Structure 1
Amino acid sequence: MTAPSTPRISDLTPGHDARTSAAQSVVTLTRVALAAPDLASGVTPTLEHLVGATAAVGAVYLGRDGGPLPRYGVRAASGELPPALTLPGGLPADLPLLGALEESARPLYFDSAAADLREGVGTGLASLAAAPVRVEGGPLLGAFVMYTAQPHVWDAEEAALFSMVSGTVAALAGRLAAEEQAGRAREAALRALGQMLETWDGDSLGHTDRVTALAMRLAGRLDLSPEQCRALRWGAYLHDIGKVTLLGALLPRVNPAAESDGFAQMLGGLPPAALSVITDRHERWNGGGYPAGKAGAQISLEARLFALCDAYDGLTHPRLHELPWDPEEALAELRTRAGKDFDPELVRLLIEVVGESPTGRGGQ
């Protein structure tokens, strides 16, 4: 249910002129964007309003993907969506339209005579208006685009609305886009670190990606929030941080538990749930684990889930001097340990998830 304090697009009231109406739109849409938890939900109300208040048959937010050759994909949309905007891999950055936005600080308007700037975008877009999204003069991070299927010249009211709304919300979208890019870069770095940790013992290559993928499938059955899923992934990437003996030499080594806790302190910027995957993965449902002897729900859900997936992957993939178990044998073993080492409900769900995989190995 929407909180009473959250503004709605239906709260907008017509103004006496285009500028007043646009100003009212900016206030409401900005409040929506500020309250949004992510980029897509922050900009979608703006797209919906543009389609409803102009001749546009559709509107999209194009977001820039990372990589040496940046491309732009539809991150949010309202109304009709031409297939040309959803090309596999996204739109290349060298399209004339995106090139023009790269050089512009203000919205651009193209009518039916501007075919050269629409080149490469495809059919179904007879006219369009586009606004760049960036942070404080930085590189282009994305764009708001609204369009018509028939030739159209954008009138003063439409231009006023698009300029004011997209210009204001674009600043917020730019910050959200920059935060998302930073988050993706951090996740890539954490995954790379996790893969590096696999090389320390040489017998678990691919383990990090496999157990993370299986944990994500199980998380999907539990409807975990995006924040919980992110914490679970990050904790999974770093679950073997204790293998790094060079760093371990800098920490007190009273016992394995102290070592894991010390590394967790070094990674204090991680969400608490991610740290719990690292510190609590050796806890047991019946309280017989370490370091704190936690039992049942005292162990974080993320740590309980990861520990189970970690055990299954360890059983079903070869290790030095050990042959892998068949999936059925591994699941039978985990079933006998349900209520002792592992959360019984999670064991039940894991059996269902593994049974859905054609390979019987968690889809890996």
Structure 2
Amino acid sequence: MGGAAALPSPSYVNFYTPACDSEGPMDTGPLPSDLTLHLTQVGLTASSLPGALNPVLQTITGHTSASAAAYYQRRDHPASSRAVLTTEPSYPARICRGPAPLPTLPPDLLRRLTHEPDLLNLPATAHHLALLAAPIRERGGELLGALLMTRPDSGPWRPGDCHLLRTLAGLVTLVAARLHAEERERDAHEHALRALSLALEARDADLRGHTDRVTQLATLVGQAMHLPPDALGALRWGAYLHDIGKLTLPDDVLHHPGPLTPAMRERMRQHVDEGLNLARQLPFLPPEALDVIAAHHERWDGTGYPRGRSGTAIPLTARIFAACDVFDALTSPRAYKHAWTPGDALHFVQQGSGTHFDPQVVQALTQVLGHHAA
């Protein structure tokens, strides 16, 4: 990660505590009201811990005597969004663009912070740095990580610096606690949605493994098309539930061994609206997930069902899923057909580019399959 030159190696750190209980007026003034409001909004709305860190670290370097600031994460609490480290002017701020883990706590610092309730002052004499660390903990007291700030001399920290670091550590703690609770809730929802999809697979042997395969493939295509994290999550959830309406189909339609009769075909098509009605009973599903259920049988040229939508009137998550769904169906054995080779199935999808499928989705699917075949 960026800024390694501004932070000491753990082997050179001499620990002692505490550092900030000296008497006297705090010489760091209050934060401007607009900055305080901004940090409060960050705490309430940040969608990831790394996303909340940039303004926090900038505040440390802009309003204390610190020349560098960083957040370190415990190795067993990974965060996979953007990791940000703000450093002194001679070390420009470096931002990791794309998925990257936050830097993890050095073992020595991890051991000391695990048992330290307040700030740690850590002068690193070999590097001529003073380092102040504030532990970030879960509600139950378990250590999540640490907010650190450094300065290129070994003098004492000003009381105001310590007060501000405590305040900002409290903000990061609130963000971490909120996001951890939201993550646990999302995980519970995802497990429940996958369980629903497996219930359908248990009823139809031809579908076993289909949901996991097509969900993984759709996620890879969504990543190749640079969908934001929220849209990717919705795509996954919609993929889990795309055929949930088939739970309402009678056995003679669901298990029919040959071509469907016109009446059976009409009944089969009803699974889309019935699945949408079922999914709407789950208030946590985002609209983009419902789009997958509602529109994964629509076609780019408007000849699909149930609404006959065309082009970009079909939501992107549904367009992505439609191509992946057809590819997986073709490459899987069914009671009425053998499995196609991946090459033949991809060729079929490519032939449908601009008629059945969104050309940009076909291009992304081709890229993903080519990459994984290499």
TM-score (normalizing by structure 1): 0.70
Q: CA 1:341–1:172 in 2, change beyond 3 Å: closer, same or farther?
A: same
Q: CA deviation at 1:198?
A: 2.6
Greater RCO (Cα-Cα under 8 Å, separation 6 or more): 2
Which of residues 302, 310, 315 in structure 2 aligns to 1:295? 310
The residue number in structure 1 matching 2:340 is 325
Q: Does 1:40 align with 2:56?
A: no
Q: Does 1:261 align with 2:276?
A: yes
Q: CA 1:357–1:257 in 2, change beyond 3 Å: closer, same or farther?
A: closer
Matches of 1:111 and 1:269 in 2, distance apart? 45
The residue number in structure 1 matching 2:136 is 132
Q: CA deviation at 1:17?
A: 5.1
The residue number in structure 2 matching 1:204 is 207
Structure 1 residues without counterparts, runs of 5 or longer: 1-15, 65-70, 114-124, 360-364
Q: CA 1:203–1:176 in 2, change beyond 3 Å: closer, same or farther?
A: same
Matches of 1:36 and 1:74 in 2, distance apart? 14
Q: Does 1:108 align with 2:119?
A: yes
The residue number in structure 2 matching 1:145 is 147
Q: Does 1:177 align with 2:170?
A: no
When Rg is computed on C-alpha atoms for both structures, the one with the higher figure is: 2
Q: Does 1:334 align with 2:336?
A: no
Structure 2 counterparts to residues 1-364 of structure 1, below 5 A: 18-21=27-30, 26-34=36-44, 36-51=46-61, 53-55=64-66, 57-62=68-73, 71-73=76-78, 76-79=83-86, 86=103, 96-97=111-112, 99-100=114-115, 104=117, 107-111=118-122, 128-134=132-138, 137-138=139-140, 140=142, 142-146=144-148, 154-245=157-248, 255-320=270-335, 322-358=337-373
Q: Secondary structure at the match of 1:20?
A: coil
Matches of 1:268 and 1:175 in 2, distance apart? 20
Q: CA 1:32–1:358 in 2, change beyond 3 Å: closer, same or farther?
A: same
Supply the AA of the counterpart residue of 1:73: P
Matches of 1:58 and 1:283 in 2, distance apart? 51
Q: CA 1:21–1:341 in 2, change beyond 3 Å: closer, same or farther?
A: same
Q: Secondary structure at the match of 1:284?
A: coil
The residue number in structure 1 matching 2:13 is none
Q: CA 1:152–1:243 in 2, change beyond 3 Å: closer, same or farther?
A: farther
Q: CA 1:352–1:270 in 2, change beyond 3 Å: closer, same or farther?
A: same
- Superposition RMSD in Å: 3.9
Paired residues, what number?
313
Matches of 2:61 and 2:345 in 1, distance apart? 54
Matches of 1:262 and 1:35 in 2, distance apart? 31
Structure 2 residues without counterparts, runs of 5 or longer: 1-24, 88-93, 95-101, 252-266
Contact 1:142 1:174 in 2 (8 A): no
Q: CA deviation at 1:288?
A: 2.5
The residue number in structure 1 matching 2:14 is none
Q: CA deviation at 1:63?
A: 6.6
Q: CA deviation at 1:318?
A: 2.9
Matches of 2:145 and 2:155 in 1, distance apart? 20
Supply the AA of the counterpart residue of 2:224: R
Contact 1:43 1:61 in 2 (8 A): no
Q: CA deviation at 1:48?
A: 3.6
Matches of 2:290 and 2:219 in 1, distance apart? 17
Contact 2:238 2:291 in 1 (8 A): yes
Matches of 2:332 and 2:297 in 1, distance apart? 20
Q: Secondary structure at the match of 1:266?
A: coil
Contact 2:273 2:294 in 1 (8 A): no
Q: CA 1:344–1:139 in 2, change beyond 3 Å: closer, same or farther?
A: same
Matches of 2:184 and 2:223 in 1, distance apart? 24
Supply the AA of the counterpart residue of 1:142: L
Matches of 1:151 and 1:247 in 2, distance apart? 77
Contact 1:22 1:160 in 2 (8 A): no
Q: CA deviation at 1:316?
A: 1.8
Q: CA deviation at 1:19?
A: 4.5
